[in-house]
Chain A
Amino acid sequence: MKNEWMPSAPVTVNWAITNRCNFRCRHCYSRTDTNEELSFGELCSILAKLGSAKVFSVNFGGGEPLMRGEIFDLAAKASGLGLAVSMNSNGFLIDRATARRLKEAGFQKVGVSLDSAVPEVHDEFRGVKGCHGRAAEALRYLKEAGIETSISSVICRINVEDIEGLIGQALSLGAGSLNFHNFKCSGLGFVNKDSLDLSPREWREFYVFAVEQREKIKDLHISLEDPIIASLGQGNSDSLVRGSVCGKLSLNIKANGDVTPCGFIPIVIGNLCKDDLMELWSNSPVLEAMRNKTPRGKCLNCGHYSDCLGGCTARALALTGDINNPDPHCWME
């Protein structure tokens, strides 16, 4: 199905500037990825490409983006070009001084991962003792420095029974938003999927509850960016496109400059050290295929297809080998 309108350049770019990490998370998608890194000069020339394409925002990730000391200079350059700058971090390296430096570098938003309200559970999942406490402190320091904060939680077997705990934790830490990420089955997520992923029925139960909470709780923005919730009557009215946003509003850059539609889809469509961003955006056959999916299997007769477009493309690809197959998390019969 064709998306009726497509922006002329990405609106957001997610950029893993390094794959180095101080954590050992059980679901990580980038542990199996390249260790190659670009020089600061190369990072700046990619940034210039984003600026001239009028990309709105850049979200640094990794690995752990703070493992790369130049993050501050890079962010300052990005905000100098008019980009809104944000980052996803595990929070471990953010003390009061770092939070201030991030603010000075132009960070508007920083997301910190917290997968459980129970410290031992989070520590075990992320592989580092004491990391829950450090993440919670990081959130306080960031807020104090005047940076908008969000908490990212990957929903899986370890936390699905305590969604209320995650919400309570986000409220008590004063986070602006709580992002519930669906489990992606890429990288280590694929290796550990049997012990971590939920069944379609459990995903449905989780989303029904999360949607209810989102409507009820006014002091916290709960974000559920999963196209399959269209089948619960929850179209994403904040978005300009239907289905998943990857390759339609956003792109992903890897540590070596390779471009993929999203961090969870390992198909490289080019490299920004040599390729033109607009050229990739407009002419990549991979992006074209993602923007014009063909319904397969149960999607063929599903009344939600026009909003859902088969759900998360990354998950369909990882588990079935075909982007057009129904999202394996989908609970529709």
Chain B
Amino acid sequence: MPRYYRKPDAMWREEEASKNLVMKGFEMGEDVAEIGTSIVLSSGKMHALNVLGTEVWKLCDGKTGEEMVSILSDGFDVEREVLERDVKAFLKDLKELGLIYEE
């Protein structure tokens, strides 16, 4: 089972204003998937991650995908299967973008 790590050269920050917007959106039942709640800068390229992407990113400190799903299932009101699929897809994207590595 691979463990995921953020690339050490990556600079990142959470976007508080966008996070608040997402929280409001959640309450209103709106689609918030397109709102970036964090920015990652790595190798001269900048990326905006949405709310789930941000949470996955924050957990890339040596956790496995399964551990991430267990932690996130407390905070996100979605079926475990859906969450598993989304987390897997995010990890794949982050890896393809060169933002994380696995060991």
Interface residues of A (CB under 8 A from B): 5, 7-9, 11, 54, 56-57, 82, 84, 221, 238-240, 249, 282
B48 touches A240 (CB 8 A): yes
Q: Is B53 in contact with chain A by the CB < 8 A criterion?
A: no
Residues of B within 8 A of A5 (CB): 18, 35-36, 48
Counting CB contacts under 8 A, is B44 at the interface? yes
* Distance in Å: Cβ of A292 to nearest Cβ of chain B: 17
A11 and B16 within 8 A (CB): no
6 CB contacts below 8 A, A to B, read: A5-B48, A11-B39, A56-B13, A221-B44, A240-B36, A240-B47
B11 at the interface (CB under 8 A from A): yes
Contact among B13, B36, B44 with A238 in the assembled complex (CB-CB below 8 Å): B44
Q: How far is the CB of A2 from chain B (nearest CB, A)?
A: 14
Closest Cβ of chain B: how far from A223's Cβ, in Å? 9
| B interface list, Cβ under 8 A from A | 11, 13, 15-18, 35-36, 39, 41, 44-48
A9 to B39, CA, bound (A): 11
Contact of A7 with B41 in the complex, beta carbons under 8 Å: no
Known: A8-B16, A56-B41, A240-B47. 7 other contacts (CB 8 A): A8-B17, A11-B39, A11-B46, A56-B13, A82-B11, A238-B45, A240-B48
A240 near B46 with CB under 8 A, answer yes
Whether B35 and A54, one on each chain, are in contact in the complex, defined by CB atoms closer than 8 angstroms, is no
For A7, list chain B residues within 8 Å (CB).
15, 39
The minimal Cβ–Cβ distance linking A14 to chain B, given in whole angstroms, is: 16
Instruction: Give Cα A239–Cα B48 distance, bound, in whole angstroms.
Output: 10
Nearest 3 CB-CB pairs, A to B? A8-B17, A54-B13, A8-B15
Q: How far is the CA of A9 from the CA of B46 in the complex (A)?
A: 14
* Closest partner residue, chain B, to A8 (CB atom): B17
